[in-house]
Amino acid sequence: MSTADTPESAPVPALDPRGDIVDLAAAIVDVESVSGNESALADAVERALRAHAGHLTVQRDGDTVIARTDLGRPQRVLLAGHLDTVPVARNLPSRREERDGAEVLWGRGTVDMKGGVAVFLQLAVLAEDPPVDLTWVFYDHEEVAAADNSLTRIAREAPQHLMADFAILGEPTSAGVEAGCKGTMKLDVTARGKAAHSARDWVGDNAIHKLAPVLHRLADYEARIAVIDGLQYRECLNAVLADGGVAGNVIPDRARLTVNYRFAPDTTPAQAEAHVRELLEGCDVEIEVTDSAAGALPGLDTAPARAFLAALGDGVRIDAKQGWTDVARFSALGIPAVNYGPGDPLLCHTDDEHLRVDELRDAVATLGRWLGLEA
């Protein structure tokens, strides 16, 4: 039995991609789709595409929906948006309200990234004669471990579905362009000591104290700013978690820091690891990489990217993406990619997540012009 059929689930509304974009976004937001529970929304997206878009070939891969045009155009652009959200925090169903003189759509997923999904779904239906062939990917499990992300599976098992000359990821960027992304790495830095009674510390060896040189080096670290294609990527190296000790009267024999390194996309994960090890050389610690993902170069000099930027106009804001996003997955396949979507990224995952309606409408109009639709 699917999630949509369970008694606890609300009926899934029929999505109308040809209607008002705000109504469409609200309907998508109101289908709860916390990671692992995307089936109902994937069903709704699939039904909408099959019902409203005869110019598309639609297929389902798990809870990922892929739609393609095959018009024989010389270039193909892929547009991808994830269906899942982080857990709900009493912020569903959605509602419209006024904020500082602007109308907003409030609720979980409005920014990250169901507003972008609504934009892509509407344009997938309306763009019947685009200047390039298009692939639309609505995918699951983005907000959880990389191994669970459906793009990971598809890139491994069916990479032909993701092949394109250029890719646009609908992550929130306040309708600006954020190019590429930084890489990320997590490392466990562990110190070993010898347990003893805290009243007789001279017979022990305090593992927590051994982490002091590590913390000093991290606190004094001057991060690199890498300039790539005129964009500044600010690296970050920080201790983000600390644990150690067993009781208030025991000298700890083990202590651990979790370190997160956000490195510029001109650096490989191997180079990033070597840099951290060099920084901590001489500290009495063990270092283990527990997770890593490469970044993505901007790729703004490709012909499809230049055409996309030209359609957005001279006033569009272009920045470096300071976080990590799935553009890195496309970069690994040799596909240049950018982030572009409605919504303030600072509101992602917040309890007060909300999206300005004017940004939503502007994103549809702007991308519509690029795809040859009337403004």
What SS3 string covers the chain? CCHHHCCCCCCCCCCCCCCCHHHHHHHHHCCCCECCCCHHHHHHHHHHHHHHCCCCEEEEECCEEEEECCCCCCCEEEEEEECCECCCCCCCCCEEEEECCEEEEECCCHHHHHHHHHHHHHHHHHCCCCCCEEEEEEECCCCCCHHHCHHHHHHHHCHHHHCCCEEEECCCCCCCEEECECEEEEEEEEEECECEEHHHHHHCECHHHHCHHHHHHHHHCCCCEEEECCEEEECEEEEEEEEECCCCCEECCEEEEEEEEEECCCCCHHHHHHHHHHHCCCCCCEEEEEEEECCECCCCCCHHHHHHHHHHCCCCCEEECCCCCCHHHHHHCCCCEEEECCCCHHHCCCCCCEEEHHHHHHHHHHHHHHCCCCC
Q: What b/e sequence results for 265-289 when a residue is b if at least 16 CB atoms lie within 10 Å of its CB, and e otherwise? A: bebebeebbebbeebbeebebebeb
- The answer to the question of residue 79 being in a domain is yes
Question: d(Cα 105, Cα 213) in Å, to the nearest integer?
Answer: 48
Residues 306 and 347 in one domain: yes
Question: 154 with 213, same domain?
Answer: no
Residue 279 forms part of a structural domain: yes
Single residue among 233, 260, 293 that ends a domain in this structure: 293
Annotated catalytic residue within 84, 112, 143, 178:
84
* Residue among 342, 357, 350, 344 at smallest CA distance from 102: 357
Active-site pick, 46, 142, 235, 359: 142
Which among 51, 50, 33, 34 has a CA at the least distance from the CA of 42? 33
Instruction: Look at residue 45 and tell me if it is in a domain.
Output: yes
Q: Can you give the pLDDT at residue 11? A: 64
Number of domains the chain contains: 2
In a shared domain, residues 25 and 77: yes
Of 251, 267, 293, the position where a domain reaches its end is: 293
Q: Among the three residues 293, 311, 341, which one is the final residue of a domain in this structure? A: 293
User: Is position 284 annotated as part of the catalytic site?
Assistant: no
242, 154: one domain: no
* C-alpha span between 259 and 265 (Å, rounded): 19
Q: Tell me, what's the pLDDT at 4?
A: 39
Instruction: Tell whether 213 is covered by a domain.
Output: yes
- CA 121, CA 106: separation in Å to the nearest integer? 20
Cis bond leading into 93, ω under 30°? yes
- In tens digits, what is the pLDDT along the chain, a chain of 375 residues? 333 333 344 566 789 999 999 999 999 999 999 999 999 999 999 999 999 888 999 999 999 999 999 999 999 999 999 999 999 999 999 999 999 999 999 999 999 999 999 999 999 999 999 999 999 999 999 999 888 999 999 999 999 999 999 999 999 999 899 999 999 999 999 999 999 999 999 999 999 999 999 999 999 999 999 999 899 999 999 999 999 999 999 999 999 999 999 999 999 999 999 999 999 999 999 999 999 989 999 888 888 888 889 888 888 899 999 989 899 999 888 898 999 999 999 999 999 999 999 999 999 999 998 998 864
* 358 classed as catalytic: no
| 285: CATH | 3.30.70.360
Is 354 inside a domain boundary? yes
What pLDDT is recorded for position 13?
73
On whether residue 16 sits in a domain, the answer given is: yes
Q: How far, in whole angstroms, is CA 364 from its chain's centroid?
A: 20
Query: Do 172 and 97 form a contact (C-beta atoms < 8 A)?
Result: no
What is this structure's pTM? 0.85
User: 150 and 48, same structural domain?
Assistant: yes
**Does 199 lie in the same domain as 81?**
no
Do 160 and 188 have their domain in common? no
Tell me, yes or no, whether 259 and 283 share the same domain.
Answer: yes
Distance CA 271, CA 90 (A): 43
Residues 43 and 86 in one domain: yes
Which residue, 71, 70, 11, is CA-closest to 41? 11
CA distance 112 to 243: 31
Examine residue 141 and state whether it is found in any structural domain, yes or no.
yes
Q: Do 70 and 52 lie in a common domain?
A: yes
| CATH code of the domain containing 76 | 3.40.630.10
Residue 375 covered by a domain: no
Residue pointed to by tokens 């010389």: 74
Same domain, 104 and 121: yes
Report pLDDT for 373.
86
Residue 8 and residue 146 in one domain? yes
| Residue 134 CB neighbour total at 10 angstroms | 24
pLDDT for position 270? 97
Structural domain containing residue 211: 183-293
CA angle 65, 319, 132 (to 5 degrees): 40
